[in-house]
Structure 1
Amino acid sequence: MRDAVLRAQKDKWMAPLAQYYFRQVHPNVLSGIALTVGLVAAWLAMEERYALGLLMWFLNRILDGLDGLVARTHAKQSDFGGYLDLLLDFIVYLAVPLGFVAANPSLPVLWSALALLASYVLNLLSWTTLSALLEKRERRKSPRLTSVEMPAGLIEGAETILFYSFFFLMPQAITYLFGLMALLVLVTAGQRIVWAYRHL
């Protein structure tokens, strides 16, 4: 919901890193490192080492924000890089909740995690299918936040970072956090369906 504003601020703060310290690092390598760190965060959640897991989650998000900035700064952008970045992001988005489920496989946690993952599937369908249709109609907006067209919604990158941080900070409330995020992600999918109805 606030990604456009926060993305500009993030790029401003991280520009020196991208310009001077990651000049020789390919953005796809950074994406791969971010994936590894994200999977470590998921493993730490499974091991109930939540403080260190939160640190790894933040590091994952920093690296994820850096790969695209490095690509833009050093003219290394590619469609494959954008595709890879999104794909690896969603692997981490799925792995972290599964880590919490592995740590606490009680029935309420399992059901709330299932609701969360189902909401992800519906939300992905709501914007990837729409993205394909927008590309077909060549209705691209500028500037883009991601490699594919994605109308704004209630739950975006910033809100996901916040929710996942709460997962690590409040693991005792994981059932409720999963459920609340699932509900808000479904609202986001609904927003995009309404957007599609009005614009297609």
Structure 2
Amino acid sequence: MLDKVLRQWKERLLAPLLETPLQQVHPLAITLAGFTVGLGSGTAAALGAYGWGLGLWLLNRLMDGLDGTLARLQRRQSDLGGYLDMLLDVVVYAVVPLGLAFHQGSLLGYAFLALMLASFYINLCSWMYLAGLLEKRQKASHDGLRRSADDELTSLRMPAALIEGSETILFYGLFFLLPEHMVALFGLMAILVLLSALQRLIWAVGYLSEGDEVPTPNP
């Protein structure tokens, strides 16, 4: 919901970091290092080290934003970089709540974790396939309708929805800060993610029947 606005702020906030020796680092190295940090967050969660888990989670998200900004600065954007970034993000999104549920070890916690991960699966299918269709239509459209690389600062066009990356950062932070409410937070996030998938479904039904025109994907 907030990603498109916050991406512009993220670019401005991270720009000073890229005036350091970091500007010489390959973006893929940042991506892989961030993935390792994310796995560390999940491990800390499984051990009940919530402070460490939260810190590593936030560092993972910082590095996830930094690699894309660095790639644009170095003119090293690539389809492979975008693909690996998304794939490794999804792994971290699964590992962190798995670690949290493992540490608590309750049947109810596992049940609501399964519900939340199922909502992720449905939502990923909804927006990834839709993003592929939008790219397909974009290539078939007139040049005037094509999206420039700076429009959304992402490898794929992502129709906006209630729960996006920014909201995920917030929810995962709450998992660490309020572990006693983990089950309720898992359930709440699952509901909101499913609503996001429904939101994109409604948008798709309204616009995918409009030939090759590429509409602006607002919620």
1:165 correspondence with 2:173: yes
Unaligned runs of 5+ in 1: none
**Residue number in structure 2 paired with 1:185:** 193
Shift of 1:61: 0.6
**Identity rate of aligned residues, in percent?**
50
**Residue number in structure 2 paired with 1:38:** 38
User: What TM-score comes out, normalization by structure 2 length?
Assistant: 0.88
SS of aligned partner of 1:23: helix
Q: 1:54 & 1:33 partners in 2: Cα distance?
A: 17
Larger Rg: 2
Aligned residues: 200
Q: CA RMSD in A?
A: 1.1
User: What TM-score comes out, normalization by structure 1 length?
Assistant: 0.97
Q: 2:201 & 2:153 partners in 1: Cα distance?
A: 20
**Residue number in structure 1 paired with 2:211:** none
Deviations 1:161-184 (A, max 9, x none): 000000000011110000000000
- Is residue 3–residue 156 contact of structure 1 (8 Å, CA) maintained in 2? yes
**Residue number in structure 2 paired with 1:25:** 25
Shift of 1:148: 1.0
- Is residue 127–residue 192 contact of structure 1 (8 Å, CA) maintained in 2? yes
> Structure 2: which amino acid aligns with 1:33?
A
**Residue number in structure 2 paired with 1:146:** 154
Q: 1:130 & 1:156 partners in 2: Cα distance?
A: 15
Shift of 1:127: 0.7
**Residue number in structure 2 paired with 1:196:** 204
Deviations 1:115-160 (A, max 9, x none): 0000000001101111111111116544124211210000011100
Q: Which of 13-22 and 126-135 deviates more?
A: 13-22
Q: 2:122 & 2:24 partners in 1: Cα distance?
A: 38
Q: Pairwise mapping of residues 96-175 of structure 1 onto structure 2 (< 5 A)?
A: 96-138=96-138, 141-142=147-148, 143-175=151-183
SS of aligned partner of 1:77: coil
Shift of 1:4: 1.5
> Structure 2: which amino acid aligns with 1:111?
A
Shift of 1:62: 0.6
**Residue number in structure 1 paired with 2:95:** 95
Deviations 1:78-133 (A, max 9, x none): 01101111111111000001001110121110110000000000001101111111
**Residue number in structure 2 paired with 1:71:** 71
Q: 1:162 & 1:126 partners in 2: Cα distance?
A: 22
